[in-house]
Amino acid sequence: MSARVTIGEDTLKSSSPADRLRWLGLSLVMLLLDQATKYAASTYLAYGERRAVTEFFSWTHLHNTGAAFSFLADAGGWQRGFLIGVAIVISVMLLGWLWSGGTSKGQSIALSAILGGALGNLTDRLLRGHVVDFLDFHYAQYHWPAFNLADVWITTGAALLIWAHRKYGN
């Protein structure tokens, strides 16, 4: 078991099997949190129900057959297979990138988050035929499109990946 460790520019890179498993474990935890929260929303809220938590946030229970912001939701059904295929390809690419090692800690966390989110929404599409959304932010009558933790993981991971690339150029 050899590990390659490089220290420089405030980053630690390691490609040991333990590190790789740690990042995959993080993706698994994110996947499980996503699925648990979607299960809770589906169990405790009727479809379409909204429960106000604050003036700007509500729990809700919605289904999205499309992609982000319900893009392709009204496409007639072909989008399910397409989005499943895209999610599988992206997940395999992310797994390969994580497994190859040599990424910075920030990059590894980012890739793990994106992978956990992609797998969360993929699981929904495979098991339910749609993605469960339950987080609803709003101001007066203006609502941001509802989303879920998988979307949070993907967005946060993408932002962190951009930040890590800009900081470390890797």
User: Does residue 133 carry a catalytic annotation?
Assistant: yes
Residues 6+ apart with CB under 8 A from 118: 87, 90, 91, 94, 150, 154
Strands (E), the chain: 5-8, 11-14, 50-52, 57-64, 131-139, 142-143
Cβ-count burial 2-18 (b if 16+ within 10 Å, e if not): eeeeeeeeebebbbeee
Residues 6+ apart with CB under 8 A from 108: 19, 23, 98
**Confidence at residue 170, expressed as pLDDT on a 0 to 100 scale:** 58
Token pair for 22: 């740690």
**Confidence at residue 84, expressed as pLDDT on a 0 to 100 scale:** 86
Residue 11 pairs in a beta bridge with 8
**Confidence at residue 8, expressed as pLDDT on a 0 to 100 scale:** 41
89 is a domain residue:
yes
**Confidence at residue 15, expressed as pLDDT on a 0 to 100 scale:** 65
**Confidence at residue 1, expressed as pLDDT on a 0 to 100 scale:** 44
Residues 6+ apart with CB under 8 A from 73: 64, 65, 66, 79
User: How far apart, in whole angstroms, are the C-alpha atoms of residue 170 and residue 161?
Assistant: 10
116 is a domain residue:
yes
User: Does residue 19 carry a catalytic annotation?
Assistant: no
Task: Name the domain count of the chain.
Answer: 1
153 is a domain residue:
yes
In the set 19, 34, 124, 133, the catalytic residue is 133
Phi-psi region of 97 (alpha: psi -120 to 50; beta: other; left: phi over 0): alpha
154 is a domain residue:
yes
**Confidence at residue 111, expressed as pLDDT on a 0 to 100 scale:** 93
Predicted model pTM: 0.85
Q: What is the mean pLDDT of each run of 10 residues along the chain (170 residues)?
A: 41 67 93 98 96 95 80 68 89 89 82 96 93 94 92 95 79
157 is a domain residue:
yes
4 is a domain residue:
no
In which domain, by residue range, is 129 found? 17-168
